[in-house]
Chain A
Amino acid sequence: MIFSERLHCGLLGLPDVGAEVLLAGWVDALRDHGEVLFIHLRDRSGIVQVVFSPESSGTVVCAAAGGLRAEYCICVKGRVVKRIEGTENPGIATGEIEVAATELAVLSKAGTLPFQISEKSMVAGVSAKRDENVSEDLRLQYRYLDLRRPTMQDHLMKRHRVAKVVRDYLDEQGFVEVETPMLTKSTPEGARDYLVPSRHYPKNFYALPQSPQLFKQLLMVSGMERYFQIVRCFRDEDLRPNRQPEFTQLDLEASFIDEEFLYSLFEELTVRMFRIGGVELPRPYPRMTWLDAMNATGSDRPDLRFGMTFKDATDIFTNTSYGIFKQILGRGGCIKGINVKGQSERLSKNVLQNEYAKEIVPGFGAKGMTWMRVVDGGLESNIVQFFSDAERQAILERFEAEKGDVILMIADPSWSLVCSALGQLRLHLADRLGLIPGDVYYPLWVTDFPLFEATEHGVTSSHHPFTMPDRTDFDPENVDELLTLKSRAYDLVMNGEELGGGSIRINDRALQNRIFKALGLSDAEAGEKFGFFLKALEYGAPPHGGIALGMDRVVAMILGTPSIREVIAFPKNRSAYCPLTDAPSTVASAQLAELGLLDLGGAGQVLPGTGEQQDLVDRLSWVSRIAIDVTEQADIKAAVADALNMADLVRDNAGNDEPMFSVVAVENHTRGGTAPRVSEFSQTGEIFKNAPAKKGGFFKVAAVLE
């Protein structure tokens, strides 16, 4: 058969009736009616029904078709015919026609499938039965089969469309796609780097880029003016369900621009991207300062698809006699609340007090929660009797309360704790009460972030140290002043998720120096870490700024998939492991030796997890968590060799007796009483006397996980 004549299954229709066609693809499903065999033939474009019958196909072809199984790769020749009325299948695009086969070639057979691939029923009005419980790891292990599913093919093709829209639009706007290196220098900032050992420079490492930040700024210094890249980035971070060790960013930088240029550019760009998923985003996107976002939602990525934004109630209680509030306000604290409109039916006293106040809200870090249900004639609560009439009235007005509402307040000496706990409570309630509308997309810009955050020793950058501050006349040694500085940074947020962010950068070497000074970095330290970049700022760096957008996350949102793994062809699983290739894996010690890495752990230190497979002693050292040094190797090897001999000896002499683990009868002794015994030594604290490290009332240990 000549593939150049091949047509696509999913594109056939009534106009093709009568035509001789050549099709190739996979057997999606089969239905055997005795003499007549129907199959769904699937290729990338879709599915068409092919019929094998003695009349149209002849007995030889029919007999060959009898051997077909799901996912055989085949080629079929036949004639397009209109289906008999009443046998159409509206469940597939080609449901009005079918192909009466005249020739069949099996191109490649398929073994037993680990899970079903077909998603389309062969019978009109019946949905295909699919086992939805296929484990994700099994899907990832056989990803090439998983990707045959039309749903997954659609995801990848739409992702391609989204990327194409990005490239087309940015090209129109004069942006140039430039590739930046994957093997680059490790910088100690940010997340952990993935390191790549260098063979030519033993014990030296490249790092995979966490983002092309410095390179894209260098491209601005290079005079490229407008750069973008759809680029892979790598971060060795703690495991999270929706996080990948490698991910794709749309990275963009432009010179001689300001924030308004980027807002406008990115709004138009994201509108076009979301259109691929049939979503029309309203422009312009609202903007919110970071402070307003925190005060209204307790989050720097507010979900504004629903209301329930915060009201500040601090002033209402300035002169309160309610002890807890009085004490908190006396310590400079604040009180914020939300009105859960019309939900008092579903939020009973019991739920509010025993679930939220006692369990859920303390889990968010707050010490407590005040709840009030709005009833006829005022407020109902377990503490409302401590409030004055004026306070009650002020609450009702401030929260625009009506009968049936529930008002929840959190008070704490720390403003950020109030914001964070109430913000989590807001999301928790919205989720529980079903207040989040589906199919709504609420994009917004969050702006005016603090430039610095306070640390024990001074300040650290909230974003990164190259971000332009809102003013430049600050004293780099005045910590209080530094903490009032805002950055010219912006985040694009949608539905409570950060899609991307960026900033206007510093292009003045002197200003950059003062920022490093504020961060407590000496000239020497700054030079050591970023010297190559700082030098570039000395050669006429233009004003510039940029933004980066997480492509995986955005495509997942556009397509409405539950996880970003659904829009990545070959992702790692939740544990950052690849079940398809079994990466990461140990490597042969020869490879490590070539890289000069065998003794990297220091003299005699066993490197956990590397050479285990090669050496029994190393493996035993690892499983029993006992490091050995070079001077011990020989003795231990000899002892383990003896153990191997002993194993042979006991095996040869085992006999048939039951194993005896103790010479006395083992009996179970149940301790009397039912109350747990608390050791007197833990009560007196003596139990810590022998601890090599302790902190407060706890044994101090290393982190459980890195």
Chain B
Amino acid sequence: MSDIYTYKNVSSDVPAGAVSPLSGVRVVVQPNISVRGWPCDAGSGALEGFVPLQDAAVITRLKSAGALLAGSSRMSELGFGLVGETTVRALEEGADVAVMTDTMGEARVTAAANGLFGFKPSFGVVSRFGLIGLVPSMECAGLVARDLDTIVDVMTAIAGKDPNDPSMPDEPAVDLASAREGFECPFRAGVVKESMDLLNETEVRSFKAGLARMEAVGAVIQEVSLPGYSLFRTVHNTVASVEASSSAGKYDSVRFGHRAPQGKNWNEMYLASRGESFRSLVKAFLFQGAFFQFEDYGAFEDACRIRNRLVGETMDVFRTVDFLVFPTRRTGHDPWEAASVKAVYESFLLTLPANVTGSPAVQVPACNVDGGVDIGLQVMGKRLDDARLLCAASAIAYTVPGGNAA
């Protein structure tokens, strides 16, 4: 056990001579994705000592594409927030790409804080079979890497319909091959005027620098409006807490996980085991969910009504622009230090909309920079427009302004 890895793979050799799309690519995962035989506790006492019997679909696909599974990192409890998360250090120590569950923007914010690329695919294009999740309607496998090509390669390997994940919709597969093709500029990028209210002066200056760079590589920037923008946070918090409370119901200390020693009857066994399993941050989140579930279900339904409206407003905006651009992270809100539900949400405010609407979003480094502080440039596309989004990100990142692609 290291302080970076919960499990480090010592036998990660690929078969010699095999030519595979991900040959030599070292992948770090989080311990909430099932790898047969690896400890996989999702950072929670609720899964104390749990060792999966089966690989997750993502793992199966990575292995068959020839990737080297370097190990699994440490993570926050059940992936809520980033406290204790060590993916970045694994990347610093040699891993090429990280698979990181993105429920609120974890992959993008991690990338933005470390000068890396981060990608959250459209909801429903990567199988969640074997993912020990918390918020089924919002979470998906995010990727963090030093370059975009690796992200495209890994996405190509892991995306696609999986019969084991019945939540995946029956819709045409995302054509990721086209992500490698050149991109026709100019593209239209929208800045949501309501989002600007969230930014402080430094953030505005950084963002303007990023927008200038985009214009320099041929983007047409225009201001658009999402009237419900300020509600993304509340909708996310309400819906996600309910889904988390529901998802965490399975941690009953019977089939796996931690069993408290006391408990003479079934109820006491649950109460004590679950009380000891979850730490206080996740507990607070689960209590919020329980409040909506058991005391005010109407509020949960209302949040889902607003979610419908927000999805509709976002779709409308994509009729006039190809992409929306935002900064990725906020200064002064460090997600690795966020100790309350409120603080966690504060640190992911700019990334939540992609999760609420199921849209793909990519974080591009080294654009939104002011005085050496990179807050990250986040480009969000229409759902299932992942390939074009990655093309645009490539254009933004690698085009030398006024010249040819680097």
Contacts and interface: CB of A to CB of B under 8 A. Distances in A.
Interface stretch (B113-121, B307-315, B329-337): B307-315
A688 B281 CA distance: 30
Interface in B217-238: 228, 231, 234-235, 237-238
Interface residues of B, number: 79
A647 B265 contact: no
A639 B304 contact: no
A690 interface: yes
A155 B20 CA distance: 88
A646 B234 contact: yes
Interface in B49-93: 49-51, 53-54
B62 to A, nearest CB: 22
B280 A635 contact: yes
26 contacts: A606-B271, A608-B268, A616-B291, A617-B287, A619-B295, A621-B287, A624-B245, A635-B281, A635-B340, A636-B284, A650-B302, A650-B306, A651-B298, A655-B309, A659-B305, A660-B308, A661-B304, A663-B358, A664-B124, A664-B167, A667-B169, A669-B166, A692-B49, A692-B259, A699-B255, A701-B269
A161 B171 CA distance: 81
A651 B171 CA distance: 34
Contacts of A624: 245, 274, 286-287, 289-290, 293-294
A689 B266 contact: no
Interface string A623-661: 111111101100110111011101101110111111111
Contact of A620 (B238, B259, B287, B340): B287
A691 B280 contact: no
A620 B294 contact: yes
- Ordered nearest first, which 9 A-B pairs have the shortest CB separation? A627-B275, A659-B304, A663-B358, A690-B256, A639-B284, A692-B259, A647-B299, A660-B308, A625-B270
B301 interface: yes
A704 B265 contact: yes
Interface of A is mostly: loop
Nearest to A644: B291
Contacts of B146: none
A703 B302 contact: no
Given A659-B301, A691-B255, A704-B265, 8 more contacts: A619-B294, A621-B271, A636-B283, A639-B288, A647-B296, A650-B231, A651-B302, A689-B51
B267 A625 contact: yes
B292 interface: yes
Contact of A638 (B254, B270, B286, B340): B340
B123 interface: yes
A665 interface: yes
Contacts of A663: 123-124, 137, 311, 357-358, 383
A658 B302 CA distance: 9
B256 A626 contact: no
B278 interface: yes
Contact of B265 (A636, A658, A702): A702
A639 B237 CA distance: 11
A686 interface: yes
Contacts of B269: 701-702
B388 interface: no
Contacts of A616: 291, 295
A703 B287 contact: no
Given A646-B237, A705-B265, A664 B272 contact: no
A649 B234 contact: yes
A642 B342 CA distance: 8
B253 interface: yes
A625 B265 contact: no
A608 B303 contact: no
Contact of A657 (B263, B283, B308): B308
Nearest to B233: A646
Contact of A650 (B170, B238, B256, B283): B238
Contacts of B312: 657
Nearest to A660: B308
A608 B267 contact: yes
A672 to B, nearest CB: 10
A138 B383 CA distance: 57
B38 interface: no
Contacts of A659: 301-302, 304-305, 307-308
Given A626-B278, A664-B123, A691-B256, A640 B266 contact: no
A662 interface: yes
Contacts of A651: 298-299, 302
Nearest to B274: A626
Interface string B358-369: 100000000000
B129 interface: no
A647 B245 CA distance: 16
B252 to A, nearest CB: 8
B267 A626 contact: no
Interface in A549-574: none
A657 B268 CA distance: 41
B51 A690 contact: yes
A113 interface: no
Contacts of B293: 624
B264 interface: yes
Given A640-B291, A642-B342, A703-B264, A658 B305 contact: yes
Interface centre among B264, B266, B286, B291 (most CB of A within 10 A): B291
B339 to A, nearest CB: 8
A653 B306 contact: yes
A667 B165 CA distance: 12
Nearest to A670: B166
A526 interface: no
A625 B271 contact: yes
A192 to B, nearest CB: 12
Nearest to A647: B299
A312 B237 CA distance: 73
B241 interface: yes
Given A690-B256, A691-B255, A660 B296 contact: no
Contacts of A623: 290, 294
A583 interface: no
B257 A655 contact: no
B305 A657 contact: yes
B307 to A, nearest CB: 5
A692 B270 CA distance: 13
A570 to B, nearest CB: 29
A693 interface: yes
B341 interface: yes
A19 to B, nearest CB: 67
Contacts of B264: 702-703, 706
Contacts of B207: none
Nearest to A693: B259
A178 interface: no
Contacts of B234: 646, 649-650
Contacts of B357: 663
Contact of B53 (A644, A650, A686, A699): A686
